[in-house]
């Protein structure tokens, strides 16, 4: 899900109640955690590190299987779609399953996935979608429009964690009058079917047993995973790695690679040694020092590219329960602004990323082309510790203890419990620099190192932290990014931001970047790799495959659109001629455009 970092929760927490927070409305989440960030935060100090061994790609002389061995600096959280959390989860998920529509990497417009076309009614409340014929699940069962209708109903009734439901606005109904026709009926006009919804299409014959029972659905191991994507998750040895095998009956053509072996390593250093010794073929999320150490190495190719992720500081506003330990001082907008101004992003870029990043400022990334814009000086909080100190003094935090730490309005020292993640490239070092920088404005930081699995399985639910440093890949649609309960924008709703959900008409997108940014984050540079001998790449690693946009997916569909093929093997061909039919709404003829999902 994201090349710059493994962590990238795409969960959406609903079942909310609003709580006033100074300067914003914060949505208190009943599910694991409500995370939010300041108006300008650490964003823009992440990068993607990748290296691919040229000579270590495996082709078994006895089986003639082509196997790609990928090193990963940590395990999956879960292969269950309802529990998908980090980048590896989502990479696996969307290699195993299809979407209704994919994304054109040039402009993020919808292109065919399982659906080849979707036609709206005159009022845009009913969409009739044509589902591919002849598609089968990886277990041989036929995939029909009823599976698609079931998936969306299942998400509505069973996805209690709200991982995917906000892609399906207004509680529509779904039906399949025949095997190749999906009817999406909404009580309000919507473009949701072709935004498009980031929802994996699930096989009804596997998941129907869990319909309406979220607890049982989340407990489902889902290994092997029956899907319709180009690869099948066949095994998962927790703590050791997992295997995906090519779906030879994939509707887009069988992948050129037969198997992908994801191998878990305890550290990036161990992963690099495995790369050098030929034990693995690919290693990503490397820090700049390790990446640079591979340049010029025999049989290893490296290349710098554009990342689709960023590193950021995520705040916990509470709402997990009575035992949550989040510091209430973070609900003060001026505290968050001061923290933003007290963080020297350029220094972090220089020291942690060796210059391979950019100072971040907005919630979108350059890869999210229609949504990206450069804010004015008044729209972002630049590094200015003097201004941060003045703001804190004027906001009622002038008193300090003997060590120089400011006191809150109850006389308690303002010390934030900040989690860093060793598996997250740059998280630990970035956390140390942030702690030192915030000390200069009188805010204390207590750092705690924790694994991805610890924070996602424990702290999200208990609320036992104030903030953490990790990565984010965002969403193709900025509305989704600012709505996600991840490291930015979760639950923060300003009046200016409220305009964004009401304008998802694709024709309005040119205007949306001019709206005031809700939660500025940032664009980054990245490191990627190419192989020149053993593996032949026809597109860059990390490039979205099969038309999906470059968002958080990291390696994405790594081997579908000829991204990697052994020398001498024929290329997998993509299906051509499909298109998405979506007539312009009445506004194109001089009328008023229709709004869509909130």
Q: What's the confidence (pLDDT) of residue 161?
A: 66
User: Distance (Å, rounded) from C-alpha 9 to C-alpha 86?
Assistant: 6
Q: Where are the domains of the chain?
A: 16-47+308-514, 56-97+229-303+531-539+547-566, 101-214
User: Distance (Å, rounded) from C-alpha 83 to C-alpha 530?
Assistant: 32
Question: What number of other Cβ atoms are within 10 A of residue 338's Cβ?
Answer: 29
Instruction: Identify the CATH homologous superfamily for domain 56-97+229-303+531-539+547-566.
Output: Periplasmic binding protein-like II (3.40.190.10)
Among left, alpha and beta (phi > 0; psi -120 to 50; other), residue 558 is alpha
| Chain-centre distance for alpha carbon 568 | 35
Record the tokens describing residue 266, joined without a space.
Answer: 């305890």
DSSP 3-state of 310:
strand
Whether residue 361 contacts residue 99, with contact meaning beta carbons closer than 8 Å, is answered with: no
Instruction: Note the pTM of the prediction, 2 decimals.
Output: 0.69
Q: Regarding the domain delimited by 16-47+308-514, which CATH topology (the fold level of the hierarchy) does it fall under?
A: Dipeptide-binding Protein; domain 3 (3.10.105)
Question: Residues 6 or more apart from 103 whose CB is under 8 A from it?
Answer: 109, 110, 111, 196, 476, 544, 547, 548, 549
What architecture (CATH level 2) is domain 101-214?
A: Alpha-Beta Complex (3.90)
Name the percent of the chain in helix, strand, coil, to the closest 5. Answer: 25, 20, 55
Whether residue 89 contacts residue 244, with contact meaning beta carbons closer than 8 Å, is answered with: no
Whether the upstream peptide bond of residue 340 has omega within 30° of 0, thus cis, is no
Q: What's the confidence (pLDDT) of residue 314?
A: 81
The pLDDT profile of the chain, 598 residues, written as one tens digit per residue, is 333 344 443 332 222 222 333 333 222 222 222 222 211 222 222 223 344 444 344 554 446 889 999 998 889 989 999 988 777 888 899 899 999 998 777 776 788 999 999 999 999 999 999 999 999 999 999 999 999 999 999 998 888 767 788 788 899 999 999 999 999 999 999 988 988 888 999 999 999 999 989 999 999 999 999 999 999 999 999 999 999 999 999 999 999 899 999 999 988 899 989 988 889 988 877 788 888 888 888 888 886 666 566 788 888 887 777 778 889 999 898 999 899 899 998 898 889 888 877 777 766 666 655 666 677 776 677 899 999 999 999 999 999 999 999 999 999 999 999 999 887 778 899 999 999 999 999 999 999 999 877 877 778 778 889 988 877 766 655 555 555 443 333 333 344 444 444 444 444 444 444 433 322 333 344 443 333 333 333 222 233 222 222 222 333 444 333 333 232 222 222 222 333 333 322 222 222 222 233 3
Give alpha helix (H) positions in 546-588. Answer: none
Record the tokens describing residue 351, joined without a space.
Answer: 């020291």
DSSP-assigned beta bridge partners for residue 416 = 445
Q: What's the confidence (pLDDT) of residue 87?
A: 77
Under DSSP, the state recorded for 142 is B
Whether residue 342 contacts residue 438, with contact meaning beta carbons closer than 8 Å, is answered with: yes
User: Distance (Å, rounded) from C-alpha 560 to C-alpha 569?
Assistant: 14
Question: Residues 6 or more apart from 200 whose CB is under 8 A from it?
Answer: 81, 93, 94, 96, 97, 98, 99, 151, 164, 227
């Amino acid at each position: 899900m994201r090349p710059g970092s493994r962590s990238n929760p795409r969960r959406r927490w609903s079942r909310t109640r609003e709580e006033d927070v100074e300067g914003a409305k914060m949505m208190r989440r009943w599910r694991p955690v409500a995370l939010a960030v300041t108006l300008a935060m650490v964003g823009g100090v992440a990068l993607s590190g990748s290296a691919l061994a040229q000579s270590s790609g495996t082709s078994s002389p006895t089986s003639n299987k082509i196997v790609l061995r990928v090193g990963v600096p940590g395990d999956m959280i879960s292969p269950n779609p309802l529990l998908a959390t980090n980048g590896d989860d989502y990479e696996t998920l969307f290699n195993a399953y299809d979407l209704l529509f994919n994304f054109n990497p040039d402009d993020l417009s919808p292109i065919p996935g399982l659906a080849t076309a979707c036609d709206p009614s005159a009022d845009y409340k009913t969409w009739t979608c044509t589902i591919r014929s002849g598609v089968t699940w990886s277990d041989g069962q036929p995939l029909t429009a009823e599976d698609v209708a079931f998936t969306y109903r299942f998400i509505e009734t069973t996805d209690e964690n709200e991982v995917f439901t906000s892609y399906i606005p207004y509680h529509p109904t779904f039906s399949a009058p025949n095997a190749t026709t999906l009817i999406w009926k909404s009580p309000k006009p919507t473009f949701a079917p072709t935004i498009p919804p980031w929802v994996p299409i699930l096989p009804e014959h596997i998941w129907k047993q869990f319909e309406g029972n979220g607890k049982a659905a989340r407990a489902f191991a889902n290994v092997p995973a029956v899907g319709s994507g180009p690869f099948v998750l066949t095994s998962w040895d927790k703590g050791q790695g997992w295997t995906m095998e090519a779906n030879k009956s994939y509707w887009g053509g069988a992948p050129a690679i037969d198997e992908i072996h994801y191998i878990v390593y305890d550290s990036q250093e161990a992963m690099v040694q495995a790369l050098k010794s030929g034990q693995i073929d690919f290693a990503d999320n490397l820090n700049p020092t390790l990446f640079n150490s591979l340049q010029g190495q025999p049989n290893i190719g490296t290349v710098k590219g554009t990342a689709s992720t960023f590193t950021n500081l995520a705040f916990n506003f509470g709402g997990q329960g009575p035992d949550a330990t989040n510091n209430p001082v973070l609900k003060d907008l001026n505290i968050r602004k001061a923290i933003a101004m007290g963080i020297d992003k350029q220094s972090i870029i220089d020291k942690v990323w060796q210059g391979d990043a950019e100072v971040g400022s907005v919630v979108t990334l350059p890869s999210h082309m229609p949504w990206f814009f450069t804010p004015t000086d008044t729209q972002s909080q630049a590094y200015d510790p003097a201004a941060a100190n003045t703001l804190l003094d004027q906001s009622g935090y002038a008193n300090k203890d003997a060590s120089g730490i400011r006191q809150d309005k109850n006389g308690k020292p303002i010390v934030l419990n900040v989690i860093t993640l060793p598996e997250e490239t740059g998280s630990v070092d970035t956390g140390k620099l942030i702690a030192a920088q915030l000390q200069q404005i009188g805010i204390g930081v207590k750092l705690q190192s924790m694994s991805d699995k610890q924070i996602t399985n424990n702290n999200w639910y208990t609320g036992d932290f104030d903030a953490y440093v990790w990565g984010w890949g965002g969403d193709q649609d900025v509305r989704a990014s600012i709505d996600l309960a991840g490291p930015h924008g979760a639950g923060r709703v300003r009046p200016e931001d409220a305009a964004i959900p009401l304008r998802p008409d694709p024709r309005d997108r040119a205007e949306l970047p001019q709206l005031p940014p809700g939660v500025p984050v940032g664009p980054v540079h990245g490191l990627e790799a190419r192989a020149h001998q053993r593996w032949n790449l026809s597109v860059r690693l990390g490039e979205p495959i099969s038309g999906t946009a470059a968002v958080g997916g990291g390696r994405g569909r790594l081997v579908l659109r000829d991204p990697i093929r052994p020398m001498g093997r024929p290329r997998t061909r993509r299906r051509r001629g499909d298109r998405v039919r979506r007539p312009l709404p009445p506004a194109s003829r001089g009328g008023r455009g229709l709004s869509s999902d909130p």
